[in-house]
Amino acid sequence: MHEMSLCESVVEILNSEARRQGFARVKTVWLEIGVLSGAEPEAMRFCFDAVTKGSLADGARLEIVQTEGQAWCLNCAKTVAVVQRFDACPECGGFQLQITGGDALRVRELEVE
Amino acid sequence: MMCTVCGCGEGDGHIEGQEHGHSHDHEHTQDHVHDHGDHIHFGQGPAHAHAPGLSQARMVRIEQDILGKNDRYADANRMHFIKHGQFALNLVSSPGSGKTTLLTATLDQLKGTLPMAVIEGDQQTSHDADRIRATGVRAIQINTGKGCHLDAHMVGHALDNLDLEENGLLFIENVGNLVCPAAFDLGEAMRVVILSVTEGDDKPLKYPDMFAGAHLMLLNKIDLLPYVDFDVERCIEYARRINPSIHILALSARTGDGMHPWLEWLRDQRNAMLNARIAQLEAQMAILKAQVGS
């Protein structure tokens, strides 16, 4: 359940942005969660509601933007799509893959007032 | 209770010997996390269903990594380790893989050859730190409370209290958990995942994030191979699928079988780090010498 501490980090980011950019309440949070990021969107939702209680984002809506996994195949020398870390290359069936995308966890955008 | 230096007060973690009167000499000042990135203010009453004039709602684009703060603490720890020539390892595994037994066996064999210290992470108790101290090596226990992993901030605090000698070896034994610790860089030079043969040989596929981030996989308890259905070749194949460059060693911390290559690996990696540091210092010296014209 490291989603709990990830959500605590989200609230920290919201707090410092609130000071920096002068807003008091967060109404919506857009999170980017890569399919290879190791965070589970449903667990993030569950923890987000728990962690934001009593914070500036109490009752805020959570919008999750899932991004696709990408890897560089050493055999094919090109970028291919992967869904999981143990996927074979969809083109050559090999496992010489280096993950190049879809592992990000980011706060993208906020609706605030 | 809130730490006034770095503002930490969340969670119910606890570091042995630290009652929050700590000194904080690790670089810890980056609470001003975001002086980069674009900060575009959309005007008032933007898209997303707010009529202009009726509400003060506005959109703020921030684009911040959720793990950014941890990563900045990890960088500070890493700088500290490099500066002091300390070779830090993050040991990760599921509970019961024999991490602490491996660690005590390793400390026993290396004792007297170089300075060593251990940071122990567990949810509760100081049992593991007590086992380490019984070998004569300095250990500090971090209890994460309900937390399922160590993070770089906790490790930074532990460093304040640990006072590890220069050019030493630091083992950080993470909370037994093959999932959550994968996401948290602690600033270590190398991450070592320990898998015992009493577990499934398909664990690299079941917990890919942990194996993807590891430099070395240690297959432990190989003395029990005759009694279990663990296929070593298959496990290695799975681990390489996840991480083509992972290094793999098999051993039994209990019998001592296979310990030698592990100790060699430790020495080689530490020497490689020290050699890189030497090259860096020599380059700095060359610049300074050129400046004074000698």
For A14-75, the DSSP string reads: HHHHHHHHT-S-EEEEEEEEETTSS--HHHHHHHHHHHHTTSTTTT-EEEEEEE-EEEEETT
| CATH code, domain with B247 | 3.40.50.300
Does A83 contact B at CB distance below 8 Å? no
Q: What percent of chain A has pLDDT over 90?
A: 81
Looking at every residue in chain B, the average pLDDT score rounds to: 84
**Would you state the pLDDT for residue B248?**
98
List the 47-106 stretch of B: residues with Cβ below 8 A of A: 48, 50, 55-70
Which residues neighbour A61 within 8 Å (Cβ) at sequence distance 6 or greater? A27, A28, A29
Calpha distance A66→B64 (Å, rounded): 16
In 3D space, the residue among B100, B119, B97, B249 whose CA is nearest the CA of residue B177 turns out to be: B97
**Would you state the pLDDT for residue B260?**
97
Does A9 contact B at CB distance below 8 Å? yes
Question: How many other CB atoms are there within 10 angstroms of residue B57's CB atom?
Answer: 21
Inside any domain, residue B116: yes
H-only helix segments in B193-258: 203-206, 208-212, 232-242
The string of pLDDT tens digits covering residues B118-165 is: 999 988 888 899 999 999 999 999 998 878 899 999 999 999 888 888
Inside any domain, residue B256: yes
ipTM tops the 0.85 cut: no
Q: Which domain holds residue B260?
A: 70-274
- Do B241 and A95 lie within an 8 Å CB cutoff? yes
Strand arrangement, sheet containing B87-93: B14-15, B138-143, B116-122, B169-173, B87-93, B190-196, B216-220, B247-250
User: What residue ranges define each of the domains in chain A, with the CATH number in brackets?
Assistant: 3-68+102-112 (3.30.2320.50)
Question: How many other CB atoms are there within 10 angstroms of residue A63's CB atom?
Answer: 14
Inside any domain, residue B281: no
Inside any domain, residue B121: yes
How many domains are there within chain B? 1
The string of pLDDT tens digits covering residues A56-95 is: 999 999 999 999 999 999 999 999 999 988 889 999 999 8
| Residues of B whose CB is below 8 A from A83 | none
**Closest Cβ opposite residue B66 in set A10, A17, A28:** A10
If you average pLDDT over residues B165-179, what whole number do you get?
Answer: 93
Q: Between the CA of residue B121 and those of A58, B16, B92, B104, B142, what are the distances in Å? A: 32, 11, 10, 15, 5
Inside any domain, residue B3: no
Determine the distance in angstroms separating the CA of B179 from the nearest CA of chain A, rounded to an integer: 8
pLDDT higher than threshold 60 for residue B38 = no
Inside any domain, residue B27: no
The string of pLDDT tens digits covering residues A7-59 is: 999 999 999 999 999 999 999 999 999 999 989 899 999 899 989 999 999 99
- Cα pseudo-dihedral B280, B267, B159, B142, rounded to 10: 150
CB B202 within 8 A of CB B148: no
**Would you state the pLDDT for residue B282?**
96
**Would you state the pLDDT for residue B293?**
82
- Do A107 and B10 lie within an 8 Å CB cutoff? no
Inside any domain, residue B154: yes
Inside any domain, residue B293: no
